[in-house]
Amino acid sequence: MSERPLQTAQEPTTPRSATASHHEISDHSIAAIIKRLELGQTVKRYLPHKGYLHIDRQLPFLIVYRRPAGVLHTDIEQLLRGEAAYLIIDGSEEFFPEASRLVTAIASAMAKSFGAFLIIEMWEGSAEEFAALTPDFRPAFRVFAHRSMLLSDMIQRFTRALERVKVQQVCASVETVASTKPWPSGLPRLISANSMRAHRIQQFGVAIRPVLRNVETAEEFPLLRRSIHRGLGRAIRQSVFAFVSDYTTSQPPHYHALGPRSLVRLVWEVDEALAKIGDQFDFLLTVSPTNTAQAWELFKRNHYQQAPRFLYRPIPVDPPLVKRALYRIPIEKIEDPALEALFRAQQRELDLKLSMLEDRNTSRFFYASLQLYGQVENKLLNVAQAVLQALPPDHGPDEGMPTAKKLDSQEFAQKAEALLNHYRSIDPRLTSRVEIRDDVMGVMVSQGNLLINKRQKIAVDRVDALLAHEVGTHIVTYFNGLQQPLRQLHLGLPDYEELQEGLAVFAEYLVGGLTKPRLRLLAGRVIAAHHLTEGQDFISVYRALCQDYGFSPRTAFNLTTRIFRGGGLLKDMVYFRGLQRVLDYLGKGESLDPLWIGKFGAKHLKIINELRWRKVLKPAALIPHYLDNSTAQARLKKITANTQVLSLLNEAEQ
């Protein structure tokens, strides 16, 4: 497993210096701060009156909040925490000389390194200046800058990003104001005009509407705060990126590269706590039958008229007790909005899966499955039906090619072990193993290991495709996730199955193993899921697959079993949906590279990319072997010109 970055203490709401009534920020302490910055080191300093300075590394900007005199904690400072460079400082007249010396020293020193420096000062606006806005929860911002700056790319990007902040489908209101004093009314300027000119320091200010709590009752609105926090952070980085590009010697590759890289200890503690809960059970294995072979034989003896009775492994946890531990995890204290969003999504999905385990083999399991995987969309159903119509059934006992040579489980295991050895030669940390068992369906990956049913037989022309699917995709991304500092990347973030299975099926195409029977099978899974959501029972779905779509009895049984396992598991339809998702992604000209770093869903790709730019996540340790093949690269290039599932029909082998 990857070593995590050096852990540092969580920045507490009440700093250790809170009991001190006042003490100076001395020239010596300022010099020490500047020395650390010049060495590229992180600065975390508690300041008088519950102030705090955080600078992640050498950066050409600083966000400043001067807390009103006599106030010890406000909502605005929650919006700053989690950014790469910010200062929360006492705004009293008594403390002003020290605050001014500190900000001037930081700005001047960093301006020498970058050629210019930007100060963004924030404050809570009065309710009166935003009173005309409705509804009363609508986020709003007033951006103050010199008239010459208002049309700059920096301010334009900032305001456009703020306008995309949305709460309850209502976009934020943003007003730009020409001002020679872009700081809170009644307070003096922090840096003299002469110093700003001498060091090429620029500044703009932002007044934020007080919507984070009820003004009358002081009741907090945490969901609203999260939306504003993430949107404001994105706006800050985009404006700084424009400033840096136009005025400094630095050229960051992306605006997210200006985000924080060092993470506090609480992040790792929350990540570990979620991972421990995820490690307590293997969801897919626990909801998969252990007696499918016997159930098939009995189904045949009953002339396909009686639904089988499936047996399952004992559930290894007590779901309510695990949920109790799950919601003790203090995710709400995570100040980084991107990581907070990931952890909350993981918490919700673990909650849902624990409910499904408790409800296994009941109707409630199916309704939770709908929440987890969603409905079969009309577009998805139409494409699946078009594939089945375009590919007539083969009438062999095993969906075509009855005489094709096949490998038994032992022979296939040897092939898989050889491929794992290839990956181990690249990275010896790979510990995945191959297991031949009688209590699994077909071939699957569980916790990074390849499990093969001992009765499984694999057609020779499907061997490379199955290895690319299970080993080259699922095991590789599991291993790559293990090398990331966040354990969620190998356990799997919410909705990861769709993107994972889409990638795995696309891998079959790249190695030339996406056969027409295989495409029919994937489309059949969508049909089976659709019939399940329409309320049909096991026998009805089985008959529809046989009679309406021409699947062989054994294949129809396997399809129906997979979709009815646990009480109705809709996971199988995500293979087809995920394949289209991958094709859509490639059609936009995107690279496959970020998709290998671990297990996550398409909806979290933006956050994953943000963490990559911030260097919180590392490049993939292993790249799928099939991407080294020139034929695979040619197929990849070809498919990006026509990214529809139906376009694969002509490419599919017989």
What is the 3-class SS of 517-568, one letter each residue? HHHHHHHHHHHHHHHHHCCCCHHHHHHHHHHCCCCCHHHHHHHHHHHHHHHC
Q: Where are the domains of the chain?
A: 27-250, 267-290+303-648
Distance CA 366, CA 566 (A): 8
- Note the pLDDT of residue 132: 87
Q: Which residues pair with 437 in a beta bridge?
A: 453
Distance separating alpha carbons of residues 444 and 447, to the nearest angstrom: 10
d(CA 153, CA 111): 20
Whether the CA torsion 342, 345, 347, 350 is positive or negative: it is: negative
Q: Is the pLDDT of residue 85 over 90?
A: yes
Of 420 and 4, the structure prediction assigns the larger pLDDT to 420
pLDDT at 51: 92
| CA 192/CA 104 separation, integer angstroms | 8
Query: Could you give the 3-state DSSP secondary structure of residue 446?
Result: strand
Kindly tell me the burial class for residue 2, based on how many C-beta atoms sit within 10 Å of its own C-beta (0-12, 13-18, 19 or more).
middle
How would you label 316-330 residue by residue, b for 16+ Cβ within 10 Å and e otherwise? eeebeebbeebeebe
Could you give the CA distance from residue 358 to residue 364 in angstroms, rounded to a whole number? 9
Phi-psi region of 154 (alpha: psi -120 to 50; beta: other; left: phi over 0): alpha
DSSP letter (8 states) at residue 629: -
What's the pLDDT at 613? 95
* Among 491, 108, 466, residue whose Cα is nearest residue 282: 491
Give the largest CA-CA distance in the chain: 93
* DSSP secondary structure string for all residues of 93-148: GGGHHHHHHHHHHHHHHHHHHHS-EEEEEEEEPPTGGGTT-SSTT--EEEEEE-GG
| Confidence at 80, pLDDT banded by 50, 70, 90 | very high
d(CA 490, CA 271): 12
Per-residue pLDDT, 638: 84
Q: Name the residue among 15, 454, 66, 79 with its Cα closest to residue 236.
A: 79
Cα–Cα distance for residue pair 423/623, rounded to 1 Å: 9
SS3 (DSSP) at 600:
coil
CATH number of 27-250: 3.40.630
pLDDT tens, position by position, 41-74 = 999 999 988 899 999 999 999 999 999 987 877 8
Task: Kindly tell me the sign of the dihedral angle through the C-alpha atoms of 501, 504, 509, 514.
Answer: negative
598/605 Cα distance (integer angstroms): 11
Confidence of residue 10 (pLDDT cuts 50, 70, 90): very low
Residue 352: how many other CB atoms lie within 10 Å: 15
The proportion of the chain whose per-residue pLDDT surpasses 90, expressed as a percent, equals 80
Residue 28 has a CB neighbour count (10 Å cut-off) of 9
φ, ψ of residue 197 in degrees (nearest 5)? -70, -40
pLDDT at 16: 38
Residues 6+ apart with CB under 8 A from 359: 365, 368, 567
Q: What span, in angstroms and rounded, lies between the C-alpha atoms of 66 and 463?
A: 65
**Cβ neighbours of 539 (radius 10 Å):** 14
**Integer Cα distance of 192 and 115 in angstroms:** 18
Model pLDDT for residues 432-487, shown as the tens digit of each residue: 999 999 888 889 999 899 999 999 999 998 999 999 999 999 999 999 999 999 99
Dihedral of the CA atoms 53, 59, 63, 67 (nearest 10)?
10
- Number of CB atoms found within 10 A of residue 85's CB: 27
The structure's pTM equals: 0.86
- Give the model's confidence band at 9: pLDDT under 50 very low, under 70 low, under 90 confident, else very high: very low
Q: How confident is the model at residue 283 (pLDDT cuts 50, 70, 90)?
A: very high
Q: Given phi > 0 = left and psi -120 to 50 = alpha, else beta, which region is 217?
A: alpha
Reference 205, options 120, 129, 127; nearest CA is 120
Six token digits for residue 643: 């990214």
**Using CA atoms, how far apart are residues 239 and 234, in angstroms rounded to an integer?**
9
